Amino acid sequence: MTISSGRPRTILISGAGIAGPALAYWLRRYGFTPTVIERAPSVRGGGHAVDFRGPVHLAVLDRMGLRDAVERLSTGTGDWWQVDTRGRRLVRMPAEQTGGDIEVLRGDLARLLVEATQDGTEYIFDDSITEIADGTDSVQVTFERGTPRTFDLVVGADGQRSRVRALTFGPDETHLKHLGLHTVFFTAPNVLELDHTGLVHIEPNRLVAVYSARGDTEARVMMYFGSPPLAYDRDDLAEQRSIVARAFTGAGWQVPRLLELMATAPDFHLDSASLVKMHAWTRGRIALVGDAGYGASSLSGMGSGLAVVGAYVLASELATAQGDHRIGFQRYEDTLRSYVDGCQKLARNAAAFMLPSNRFTAALSLRMQRHLPFLADMPAKMAHRAASAITLPTYPS
Ligand X SMILES: Cc1cc2nc3c(=O)[nH]c(=O)nc-3n(C[C@H](O)[C@H](O)[C@H](O)COP(=O)(O)OP(=O)(O)OC[C@H]3O[C@@H](n4cnc5c(N)ncnc54)[C@H](O)[C@@H]3O)c2cc1C
What residues line the site for ligand X (CB under 6 A)?
14-20, 37-40, 48-51, 106, 128, 157-159, 163, 183, 185, 222, 290-292, 298, 301-305, 307
For ligand X, give the closer residue by CB, 159 or 328.
159
Are 354 and 299 a contacting pair, CB within 8 Å? Answer: yes
Number of H helices, E strands in the chain: 15, 18
**Distance in Å, CB of 106 to ligand X, minimum:** 5
Nearest-angstrom CA–CA distance, 14 and 288: 9
Burial class (CB in 10 A: 0-12, 13-18, 19+), 232: exposed
Are 36 and 15 a contacting pair, CB within 8 Å? Answer: yes
Are 195 and 216 a contacting pair, CB within 8 Å? Answer: yes
For ligand X, give the closer residue by CB, 81 or 125.
125
Residue type, 317: E
For ligand X, give the closer residue by CB, 164 or 192.
164
The single-letter DSSP state of residue 127 is -
- Collect all residues with Cβ–Cβ distance below 8 Å to 318 and sequence separation of at least 6: 3, 27, 30, 32, 153, 325, 328, 329, 332
For ligand X, give the closer residue by CB, 185 or 253.
185
**Distance in Å, CB of 331 to ligand X, minimum:** 20
Judged by phi (left if over 0) then psi (alpha if -120 to 50, else beta), residue 19 lies in alpha
**Distance in Å, CB of 356 to ligand X, minimum:** 21
**Distance in Å, CB of 300 to ligand X, minimum:** 7
**Distance in Å, CB of 19 to ligand X, minimum:** 4
For ligand X, give the closer residue by CB, 12 or 255.
12
For ligand X, give the closer residue by CB, 83 or 346.
346
Nearest-angstrom CA–CA distance, 111 and 181: 30
